[in-house]
Structure 1
Amino acid sequence: MTTDLTDLSQGEVAFAKLMQAIETGVYQPGDRLREVEIAERLSLSRTPIREALRKLEAEKIVEHRPRVGAVIRRLGQTEVVELYEMRLVLERTAAEMAAKHSLAAEVDALTALNDDIGKQGDDAPRAAAINQKFHRAIYLAGRNRFLLDAARAMNNALLLLGPTTLADAERIATVTRQHAQIIAAISAGDIQSAGAAAEDHLQTSLRYRLKVMR
């Protein structure tokens, strides 16, 4: 996610920069967020940092622990499973609607993004960033603003999953192969197959995620 910071207040700038740091893995679930360290890292005063931390707490990304301070929330296994259950519903629907509404140019863009993921090798952060663009492109191709709103509402929870599971070339190969199946179904206008391929992909992702947590 990119944000134009030119018209934001200092507190909003601090919030946007902190969100970006969490998204890119600079800060991860379980990490303590110290005002002084963050202020130095972001070249901001402690007042907007404090404001940003309060907003992160309101967004349920950060929790305040007695004698510890602000800590990025860590999801337990039950929460992770619940999150993937909801994500599965949304992404299956998105793939089905993309199969119904997408243009040839959008299918080409999905193919290009998937090819780019496959070229990343062991560069997990880069692969993860492109993967996010891929899934967002499916939502956009679905042509439903309410579905997009539901996906945005889930983004904060996805930040709490921690490091990407795209940790090696083998895992990336699995992801790109499953993406290709989703793309093929969308391109063919096969609504049922697109939904089934998206569901299979999310089930595989959940298995990898739970394996990483163990």
Structure 2
Amino acid sequence: MQEHAPIGADESRKAPKGTQARVVQELREAIISGVYQPEAALSEVALAEVYGTSRTPIREALKQLQVEGLVEIRPRVGTFVRRPSRREVVELFQIKEMLEGLGARLLARRGRVAELDLLDENLLQARRAVQEQDAEAYARLVHEFHDLIVRGADNTRLLDHYRQLMNQLAYHRLVVSTLSRPGRLGASLDEHRGVVEHIREKDGFGAELAMRDHVRASEREVLADPVTGGRQSREDD
């Protein structure tokens, strides 16, 4: 797993920097993947036991994840996995559409690069997952597909912003939930194929439009799901 910079806080000096970075990364992955569901309580004592460390790096990791929008620390109440508002989900998908559309356009301009071969292999595996109705396997391939598109754009700033956004969305958790809807597996695969076809033809404009359409379709599925569609907030009213 990719290493993230340790959190800079005075209390963190009591714990080895490598320990704190590991806790942040592993706890982030657990939230994003759905091990800890939205609104689940996160006990410092229990997490310290799970991750084999003291409470100090756990406390600092939770502070970092609060900054990232993944947890909510309520004074004198506790810490909980954060459920974004419906408005936040919409806004994050609007940014996702722009970033991934740009990624598809830039990748199409590059011609025959390694990422294109990896995308072809991804589509083959995805087809098998659809045939077997294996939503969990397909969800992993969805994450890989989108990451390959943005990586293939060969723009480090775009990739950094994109991965931060995906963390905030806890995207894997959203995909697993929405793929259970009838017909969504096959429709998603068809959308992926359309994007890759435009990229293969070096049609940057078409690739961007196809990717934007795909992201909007995914957004509609997420918002239609009462579990993933985000909580209502005053701003949504």
Aligned partner (choices 130, 143, 154) of residue 143 of structure 1: 154
Matched residue type, 1:3? Q
Asked if structure 1 preserves the Cα contact closer than 8 Å seen for 2:33 and 2:170, the reply is: no
Check 1:67–1:114 CA distance in 2 against 1; reply closer, same or farther (3 A cut). farther
Structure-1 residue corresponding to 2:206: 193
Matched residue type, 1:61? L
Q: Aligned-pair distance for 1:122?
A: 4.2
Aligned partner (choices 56, 65, 69) of residue 65 of structure 2: 56
Q: TM-score, normalised to structure 1's length?
A: 0.88
Matched residue type, 1:197? A
Check 1:125–1:41 CA distance in 2 against 1; reply closer, same or farther (3 A cut). farther
Asked if structure 1 preserves the Cα contact closer than 8 Å seen for 2:44 and 2:55, the reply is: yes
Matched residue type, 1:90? L
Asked if structure 2 preserves the Cα contact closer than 8 Å seen for 1:15 and 1:55, the reply is: yes
Matched residue type, 1:34? S
Q: Distance in 1 between matches of 2:146 and 2:171?
A: 18
Q: Distance in 2 between matches of 1:195 and 1:124?
A: 26
Partner secondary structure for residue 80 of structure 2: strand
Asked if structure 1 preserves the Cα contact closer than 8 Å seen for 2:89 and 2:169, the reply is: no
Asked if structure 1 preserves the Cα contact closer than 8 Å seen for 2:106 and 2:153, the reply is: yes
Structure-1 residue corresponding to 2:84: 75
Deviation track 1:37-62 (CA, whole Å, cap 9, x = no partner) reads: 22222233322212211221222221
Report which stretch shifted further, 173-182 or 60-69: 60-69
Q: Distance in 2 between matches of 1:142 and 1:46?
A: 41
Partner secondary structure for residue 215 of structure 2: helix
Asked if structure 2 preserves the Cα contact closer than 8 Å seen for 1:24 and 1:125, the reply is: no
Partner secondary structure for residue 35 of structure 2: coil
Structure-1 residue corresponding to 2:164: 153
- Gap regions ≥5 residues in structure 2: 5-15, 230-237
Q: TM-score, normalised to structure 2's length?
A: 0.80
Q: Distance in 2 between matches of 1:133 and 1:161?
A: 10
> Pairwise mapping of residues 154-169 of structure 1 onto structure 2 (< 5 A)?
154-159=165-170, 162-164=173-175, 165-167=178-180
Q: Distance in 1 between matches of 2:171 and 2:117?
A: 31
- Number of aligned residue pairs: give it: 212
Structure-2 residue corresponding to 1:173: 186
- Residue 134 (structure 1) aligned with residue 145 (structure 2): yes
Q: Aligned-pair distance for 1:162?
A: 4.2
Q: Aligned-pair distance for 1:85?
A: 0.8
Q: Aligned-pair distance for 1:190?
A: 0.8
Q: Aligned-pair distance for 1:159?
A: 1.5
Q: Distance in 2 between matches of 1:80 and 1:4?
A: 27
Percent identity, please.
34
> Pairwise mapping of residues 112-131 of structure 1 onto structure 2 (< 5 A)?
112-120=121-129, 121-131=132-142
Report which stretch shifted further, 126-135 or 100-109: 100-109
Aligned partner (choices 191, 207, 211) of residue 224 of structure 2: 211
Report which stretch shifted further, 128-137 or 81-90: 128-137
What root-mean-square deviation, in Å, do the aligned CA atoms of Structure 1 and Structure 2 show?
Answer: 2.3
Asked if structure 2 preserves the Cα contact closer than 8 Å seen for 1:29 and 1:160, the reply is: no
Asked if structure 2 preserves the Cα contact closer than 8 Å seen for 1:25 and 1:162, the reply is: yes
Q: Aligned-pair distance for 1:174?
A: 1.1
